Amino acid sequence: MKRLILLLVFCLSGQFIFAQLLDNLRIGLESNSAWYNDDKKTGSFYDTENQDGDKHIRSNNYLKLDYSFLKNFQASVQIESYEPLALINYSPNLEGTNIGTYSLNYKSSKLDVTAGHYYAQFGSGLILRNWEDRQLGLNNALFGGKVEYTPMESIHLTGLYGKQRVGFDTSDGEVFGANVEIDLSSIIDFESTSLSLGLSYVGRKEATEIVDPNFDELTNAFSGRLDFYEGSFYSSLEYVSKSEDAIVQVGQIMNNFVKPGNAILFNAGFSQKGFGLDATFRRLENMSFYSERQKSGNLFIENIVNYTPGLTKQHDYLLTNIFVYQAQPQVSFLDPGLLKAGEIGGQIDLFYQIKKDTPLGGKYGTKIAFNMSYWAGLKGDFDYNNLDYSTDLFGFGNKYFSDINFEIRKKWNSKWNSIFYYVNQYYSKKQIEGNFGAEPIKSNIVVAEATRKLNGGKSFRIEAQKLWSDSDGHDWVGGTFEFNLSSKYSVYINDIYNSGNDSDTAETHYFNIGGSYTKGSTRLGLNYGRQRAGLICVGGVCRYAAEATGVSANLTMSF
């Protein structure tokens, strides 16, 4: 009888412990797979990098496990599988199945310590940012250690060291960092004003095989920033200085071309109910920063230390994303006709809501948004023969890009709402892409969208898009139809078509047909169609994607 009671107690306690283990465990699964097929319009499927024309099936898979224990500890591991190969346009370093990241973290009210892989950001990221974006194939986590300490509410300190993740390996270059965040408003005892100061240091140390280098192994970057907020007004100012380092051209380190870098970022805005105004100015000079010099500007965004996104409107529509601006922080002396040392420009956002029950606002009000961005090269003196340059602090050189867009959102009644969208763009292929023979493309884009709610939780959405340009190569039209059967099921079809004479896209229907099923934290999506060659951008960071045709599937789960 005693043995039976002991066995029952053991079983019950075991179930309790197992339940506790599950309570402390969080699991996330994501799978992105594709079967690529030959297409007379987009071409035969063939990966010249891996010589694998017969391997049409590709898959990127991520399993993330987070386990909390002993109140203050958390262990994390991410297992990744790229079998038989990664999706096309992803880095060849992503191959096979292995542990991608792992870490052990201790966190208390004042101390936060991480060993293993971790992510960090100082300020806006101009000096340091580590993050993961699976759509871009980007994961530049640092492998090493990070310590964060908050001795008092108004002061936060960070120190870190590590090597960046590259595929399943790490970079040769080492990264050091220190950051201080000070809440001046609490120290000075401001009541309605917020004022904070940030100071950062990041060092990149990489040995070089160059004999008698004219630059140091250690490149130092310093940042100072000030953030202010009072009532409806806010502003921030950040300055970054980077020590002298060799310029890299097409993967070649130029020992006789050594220059420092710097960055200025200013943002200010005003916001109240029904109205918002935001303005951003940025100047980048020689601000390419990679944990390995020769990886500067690589197609897969590997080894990147800092964050320099394209500060323009992040458009939602297919035709508005054909000519996308990429930030130009690098120095380029590849041709005497195209000399660059960085970029200068900014953007302005204006939001306004016309009040309800007015002639223009109607019963539900009307939302209006205006955005304008302009980017150019740095003005200065450029000496191609002697590999040298000097720039004006606020001088605007050759125009790179401009975007003026206007949006009206209107709810007509409980069933119908609509969006009208207009975009005017200027895109210099020569300055942005280095396409010497290309003329700038000036385009106008109009989008009209309507959504209708139906009974039983159903709805449908229709888009119509049109792009006109001054180029004979680009005259696009597009459309989308999406039908939501319920909160769980949706299907869609979209297509864009270029009637121009551009040799890459002329008279090709880039169509996609698909749908998704969602239940709780689980989502399954299926799609068949064509992918247009061009840039895929997330948050202003872009990578190139080649043309392709096939079936793709996406599965995400968390529990």
DSSP string for 398-438: EEEEEEEEEEEEEE-SSSEEEEEEEEEEEE-HHHHH--TTP
User: Distance between CA atoms of 455 and 452, rounded to whole angstroms?
Assistant: 10
Neighbours of 205 (CB within 10 A): 15
User: Distance between CA atoms of 492 and 350, rounded to whole angstroms?
Assistant: 32
Residue 10, H or E segment: helix 2-23
pLDDT attached to residue 347? 98
- CA nearest 277: which of 366, 351, 372, 371? 351
| Mean pLDDT of the 347-360 span | 94
User: Distance between CA atoms of 432 and 429, rounded to whole angstroms?
Assistant: 5
pLDDT attached to residue 13? 37
User: Distance between CA atoms of 505 and 512, rounded to whole angstroms?
Assistant: 16
- Residue 188 backbone phi and psi in degrees, to 5: -80, -10
- Contact in structure between 20 and 14 (CB atoms under 8 Å): no
Total length of the chain = 559
SS3 54: coil
pLDDT in tens, 461-487: 999 999 999 999 999 999 999 999 998
User: Distance between CA atoms of 266 and 236, rounded to whole angstroms?
Assistant: 6
- CA nearest 30: which of 101, 135, 118? 135
For the record, the structure tokens of 357 come out as 């029950």
User: Distance between CA atoms of 205 and 293, rounded to whole angstroms?
Assistant: 10
Left if phi > 0, otherwise alpha if psi is -120 to 50, otherwise beta: which for 531? beta
Please give the single-letter amino acid code of residue 442.
Answer: K
Q: Is the pLDDT of residue 55 over 80?
A: no
pLDDT attached to residue 23? 83
User: pLDDT tier at 136 (50, 70, 90 boundaries)?
Assistant: very high
| Domains annotated on the chain, with CATH | 108-308 (2.40.160), 312-507 (no CATH)
More confident residue, 382 or 456: 382
pLDDT attached to residue 191? 77
Q: Which of 47-56, 186-195, 292-301 has the lowest mean pLDDT?
A: 47-56
- Residue 325 backbone phi and psi in degrees, to 5: -85, 130
Q: Is the pLDDT of residue 309 over 80?
A: yes
Please give the single-letter amino acid code of residue 517.
Answer: Y
pLDDT attached to residue 385? 95
* Burial classification of residue 417, based on how many CB atoms lie within 10 Å of its CB (0-12 exposed, 13-18 middle, 19 or more buried): middle
Please report how many Cα atoms fall inside a 13 Å half-sphere around the Cα of residue 384, on the Cβ side. Answer: 9
Please report how many Cα atoms fall inside a 13 Å half-sphere around the Cα of residue 20, on the Cβ side. Answer: 9
- CA nearest 166: which of 208, 138, 204? 138
Please report how many Cα atoms fall inside a 13 Å half-sphere around the Cα of residue 22, on the Cβ side. Answer: 7
For the record, the structure tokens of 557 come out as 């789960």
User: Distance between CA atoms of 27 and 21, rounded to whole angstroms?
Assistant: 12
User: Distance between CA atoms of 85 and 307, rounded to whole angstroms?
Assistant: 28
pLDDT attached to residue 437? 80
Neighbours of 446 (CB within 10 A): 14
- CA nearest 408: which of 477, 354, 482, 464? 354
For the record, the structure tokens of 221 come out as 């970057």
pLDDT in tens, 203-246: 999 999 899 999 999 999 999 999 999 999 999 999 999 999 99
User: Does the bond joining 359 to the residue before it have cis omega, within 30 degrees of 0?
Assistant: no
9, 128, 162, 503 from 172: Cα distances, Å: 55, 18, 10, 41
- CA nearest 310: which of 219, 408, 425? 425
User: Distance between CA atoms of 420 and 463, rounded to whole angstroms?
Assistant: 10
Residue with tokens 């595929």: 167
More confident residue, 9 or 339: 339
Left if phi > 0, otherwise alpha if psi is -120 to 50, otherwise beta: which for 144? left
pLDDT in tens, 162-175: 999 999 999 999 99
pLDDT in tens, 485-510: 998 999 999 999 999 998 889 999 99
| Residues 6 or more apart whose Cβ sits within 8 Å of residue 477 | 465, 466, 467, 496, 497, 499
SS3 218: strand
SS3 431: helix
pLDDT in tens, 74-132: 999 999 999 999 998 899 999 999 999 999 999 999 999 999 999 999 999 999 999 99
- The 3 state secondary structure assigned to 80-116 is EEECCCCCCCCCCCCCEEEEEEEEEEEECCCEEEEEE
pLDDT in tens, 384-426: 999 999 999 999 999 999 999 999 999 999 999 999 999 999 9
pLDDT attached to residue 14? 42
Q: Is the pLDDT of residue 17 over 60?
A: no
